[in-house]
Structure 1
Amino acid sequence: MKKVFYKISSACLALIVLLSTVSFTVDSHYCGDTLVDSSLFGHVETCGMEVQQQSPSSECDISKKDCCSDEQVIVEGQDTLKTSFDKLDKDQQLFVAAFIHTYINLFFESQEDLNSYRDYTPPPLVRDIQVLDQTFLI
């Protein structure tokens, strides 16, 4: 259960970092008040109702108001992530080293020798009690 929680939280944090650093642009084309097309990548398709610009040499200079409009929303990502560790001060380096050490130790079990009788010496044998009582296991 604990490992699953760590994996889910790690994935969520990585996704948050990814989404906070990505920048993108949303282009939208409106014809009047109606949204015709919206695009995340590339240019939007127009509705074909744009006013065609006439050459200035024509005698009739009547201009028509364009009912179409383009809107562009730019979402800037965070660009100030610190990627180099040589600019960290001593306290921050100590924190990063301690964090990495404890994080790595989460995935390895300690293999301690739990032999508590290692330093214990048995009492000296004065007489062999099994031979004296003649009790033998067969």
Structure 2
Amino acid sequence: MKYLVSHKIFAVVLSVLVLLSTFSYTVEKHYCGTTLVDVAVFSEAKGCGMEMKVTSKQKNPCCKDTVDVIEGQDELKTVTFDDIEFSNQLFISTYVYSLASLFKSLPKRIIPNKDYSPPNIVYDIQLLDEVFLI
């Protein structure tokens, strides 16, 4: 039972890891001077209200926005059986063939005395002879 629960947890963690590795998302940060004011994921960061347009006289504005883009995995690698080397193909096909032969059913065995009941025990021989299995 404990293995069943741990396997389910492990499967959920791996599926979440695959899902998060394929996502692309952005993190926007708004700085006012050197102080971080707002951080937003999947949306725009709200400003502090002190944004000014940069003119020719003013070279350094007090507020700045930074955008960090985290790219997800777009293409997943797919491998066909023909892309594998011949020695590995031979190993895989032999392994699958031998594994499939393990699950073949055995012929039905005939039990000739299945309809007969055992004789009644009149005396308990082990108790009489005082012979016990330890």
Task: Indicate whether 1:73 and 2:64 are aligned.
Answer: no
Do the aligned partners of 1:26 and 1:74 also contact (CA within 8 Å) in 2?
yes
Q: Which residue of 1 aligns with 2:20?
A: 19
Q: Using a 3 Å threshold, how does the CA distance of structure 1 residues 87 and 63 change in structure 2: closer, same or farther?
A: farther
Query: Normalising by the residue count of structure 2, what TM-score does the alignment of the two structures yield?
Result: 0.56
Identity over aligned pairs, percent: 40
Deviations 1:20-64 (A, max 9, x none): 11111000000011111111122111112222356xxxxxx6436
The equivalent position to 1:120 in structure 2, one of 91, 111, 121, is 111
Q: Whole-Å Cα distance in 1 between the matches of residues 49 and 82 of structure 2?
A: 55
Q: Which residue identity lines up with residue 71 of structure 2 in the other structure?
A: E
Alignment RMSD: 3.5
Deviations 1:69-126 (A, max 9, x none): 111111111222146868865968x58xx6xx9xxxxxxxxxx9xx9xx51324xxxx
Do the aligned partners of 1:28 and 1:35 also contact (CA within 8 Å) in 2?
yes
Give the stretch that moved more between structures: 81-90 or 44-53: 81-90
Q: Per residue, is there more helix in 1 or in 2?
A: 2
Q: Whole-Å Cα distance in 2 between the matches of residues 8 and 71 of structure 1?
A: 37
Do the aligned partners of 1:51 and 1:65 also contact (CA within 8 Å) in 2?
no
Gaps of 5+ in 2: 100-104, 114-134
Do the aligned partners of 2:28 and 2:41 also contact (CA within 8 Å) in 1?
yes
- The structure number with the bigger radius of gyration is 1
Do the aligned partners of 1:51 and 1:64 also contact (CA within 8 Å) in 2?
no
Do the aligned partners of 2:22 and 2:73 also contact (CA within 8 Å) in 1?
yes
Structure 2 matches for 1:1-138, cutoff 5 A? 1=1, 2-53=3-54, 62-63=57-58, 65-82=60-77, 89=84, 118-122=109-113
Q: Using a 3 Å threshold, how does the CA distance of structure 1 residues 80 and 4 change in structure 2: closer, same or farther?
A: same
Q: Using a 3 Å threshold, how does the CA distance of structure 1 residues 5 and 64 change in structure 2: closer, same or farther?
A: closer
Q: Whole-Å Cα distance in 1 between the matches of residues 34 and 82 of structure 2?
A: 52
Count matched residues: 101
Gaps of 5+ in 1: 55-60, 102-111, 123-138
